[in-house]
Structure 1
Amino acid sequence: MWTAFTLAAIAYVLLSAVKSKREVLRSGWNLPQEFIWSNFATAWNVGRLGDYFLNSVMVVGGSVFAILLVSTPAAYVLARAKFPGREAVTNLFVLGMGIPIPMLFIPIFGILSYLRMTDSLTGLSLVFIAISIPVTIYLLTGFFASLPSELESAAVLEGCNDFQVFWHVMLPMAMPGVLTALILNLIWLWNEYQLSLVILNSPDNRTLPLGLYSLQNAMQYTGDWPGMFAGVTIVIIPTIIAYALLSEKMIAGMTMGAVK
């Protein structure tokens, strides 16, 4: 039922994005009499979604790369290495997952103000990285823990050091899990709104969700609902494409992480 509702909502947005103003208000679910592709140009240029799209690509792309760069080896160590305090470190990441993000707004803003990084895409990216690392490490720890140890032992017997075992043996086996973490972080950060609203002030630094909200406020006064729906389409299409291309790997990764 939820899937059907979601697909229906997406279909309505896509249809409305290529209609005229009159058709959006009158024709409902009917196909447009004429496909008006200029609605996307209006949202992209007049609504400045092109600039905000680039901001989101830089922030989200850099953040996801850094999150995986830190979380993947950390999760491998927590899952496979034996050292004092390992459980305490793991529980610390679990504790980080349980803190509601709104409770962190004031501390985050205070830290960024001290570092003079408020209203900064770099500051927003650092916050994304810090908040996403605990859940990503916890997720990937389950994936690495589910991998068989025979190949790891064989690689050690062949003379591989710890890094070679991780890079050449364990990481390729855990790639479905890494892709799962990539998709989940990508979807969440691409659509993240609250932190961006708290940290960013100037119009030039807006990400796509903030830009879409600004576009919606402008379009409701001009009555350009097709332009607003075109803006929504621009925001959701990248994550839909990413999920469609990587969904099989994501499902395989989640299944692998669940079986220990």
Structure 2
Amino acid sequence: MREKRTAVDMLWYVLLLIWSVSILFPLIWVFYESLKTNQEFFQDVWKLPEVMNWVNYKNAWERYGIGQAMLNTIYYVGVSALIGTFLTAINAYTLTRLEFKGRKLLWAIIMLSLFLPGINALIPQYILMRDLNLTNSLTGLIILDSFSESAFFLLMLGGFMQSLPKELEESGYMDGASIFQVFFRIILPLSSAGIVTVAIFKTLGLYNNFLGPFIYLSDPSKYTIGVAMYQASLIMQYKADWVTLFAGLMITLIPLVIMYVVLQRSIMEGATLGAVKG
């Protein structure tokens, strides 16, 4: 039997529709502005382009260093997310599945970090990175972000792992498996949904990270996409080439769109399953 829609339901539909339009309209506007000439842009920002100027994308890729920045970002985000997710899985397993002295105290300290603004660690981190000669280096930035654990991700994945039956590990130990074999052969496969969710969130956070690369990288050839776009926007103070800047902005969205299309089911299932089991 078909459910009857109430006035409240219709109100929610209208609000969601307005919200969707508010998100999609700026993206559509930036897209067709990126296909204009600068003359068309300054004449009328709402008028559609007469000819599709795809050369703007080529200019953005080469002229403003978007191409090199994209390669740098793929290296930085890919390696950091891979190492960081693996370390989060190990830490979550250790704190939720193993019994040792000081475990509760360690959890309490980690929970305390949730209430401390991350900006407080900025100066000590920079001094440490400088003394280790890791500034102005993508590898140094990867080390910093990979080993900077997040209490939020530990809580997410830890709650997921904690829900797994203890008998699984006990049966593995009875069969002669070591602690590492239990982790890699039992816990990791069963926690794959939660791990994928954490990996996606980490990837999105790293891709959108601006402050870290902006502070630690001084060589333009090592800029990530966020810093490269910021530098390009500064150039607009002296050079009115906005259509090329819009083209560069659209290029930065391509990896995120691809990730959403490919992994949307994984992140929805992982987040839901983690919430139910946690």
For 1:30 and 1:169, the matched residues in 2 are separated by: 58
What root-mean-square deviation, in Å, do the aligned CA atoms of Structure 1 and Structure 2 show? 2.1
Give, in angstroms, the shift of residue 224 of structure 1. 1.2
For 2:261 and 2:114, the matched residues in 1 are separated by: 27
Q: TM-score w.r.t. structure 2 length? A: 0.84
- For residue 222 of structure 2, what is the aligned residue in structure 1? 205
For 1:173 and 1:31, the matched residues in 2 are separated by: 51
Q: Secondary structure at the match of 2:236?
A: helix
Structure 2: unaligned runs, 5 residues or longer: 1-17
Structure 1 residue 124 corresponds to structure 2 residue 141: yes
- For residue 45 of structure 1, what is the aligned residue in structure 2? 62
For 1:139 and 1:244, the matched residues in 2 are separated by: 23
Residues 9-28 of structure 1: matches in 2 within 5 Å? 9-28=26-45
Structure 1 residue 80 corresponds to structure 2 residue 92: no
For 1:193 and 1:111, the matched residues in 2 are separated by: 20
For structure 1, which segment, 55-64 or 91-100, has the greater mean C-alpha deviation from structure 2 after superposition? 91-100
Aligned counterpart in structure 1 of residue 232 of structure 2, from 194, 205, 215: 215
Give, in angstroms, the shift of residue 32 of structure 1. 2.8
Could you say which structure has the larger radius of gyration? 2
Give, in angstroms, the shift of residue 112 of structure 1. 1.4
Structure 1 residue 106 corresponds to structure 2 residue 115: no
Number of aligned residues: 260
For 2:170 and 2:43, the matched residues in 1 are separated by: 67
Question: What CA deviation, in whole Å up to 9, does each residue of 1:2-41 have, x standing for no partner?
Answer: 4432222222222222222233344545543222111111
- For residue 23 of structure 2, what is the aligned residue in structure 1? 6
Q: Is the 2:36–2:53 Cα contact (8 Å) retained in structure 1?
A: yes
Q: Secondary structure at the match of 2:22?
A: helix
- For residue 184 of structure 1, what is the aligned residue in structure 2? 201
Give, in angstroms, the shift of residue 162 of structure 1. 2.6
Q: 1:175 to 1:226 in 2, by over 3 A?
A: same
> What is the one-letter code of the residue matched to 1:145?
Q
Structure 1 residue 255 corresponds to structure 2 residue 272: yes
Identity of aligned residues (%): 31
- For residue 58 of structure 1, what is the aligned residue in structure 2? 75
Structure 1: unaligned runs, 5 residues or longer: none
Give, in angstroms, the shift of residue 129 of structure 1. 1.9
- For residue 147 of structure 1, what is the aligned residue in structure 2? 164
Give, in angstroms, the shift of residue 79 of structure 1. 1.8
For 2:269 and 2:144, the matched residues in 1 are separated by: 29
Q: TM-score w.r.t. structure 1 length? A: 0.90
> What is the one-letter code of the residue matched to 2:40?
E
For 1:3 and 1:98, the matched residues in 2 are separated by: 33
Question: What CA deviation, in whole Å up to 9, does each residue of 1:39-65 have, x standing for no partner?
Answer: 111111010111111211121111111
Give, in angstroms, the shift of residue 254 of structure 1. 1.4
Q: Is the 1:56–1:190 Cα contact (8 Å) retained in structure 2?
A: yes
For 1:161 and 1:29, the matched residues in 2 are separated by: 65
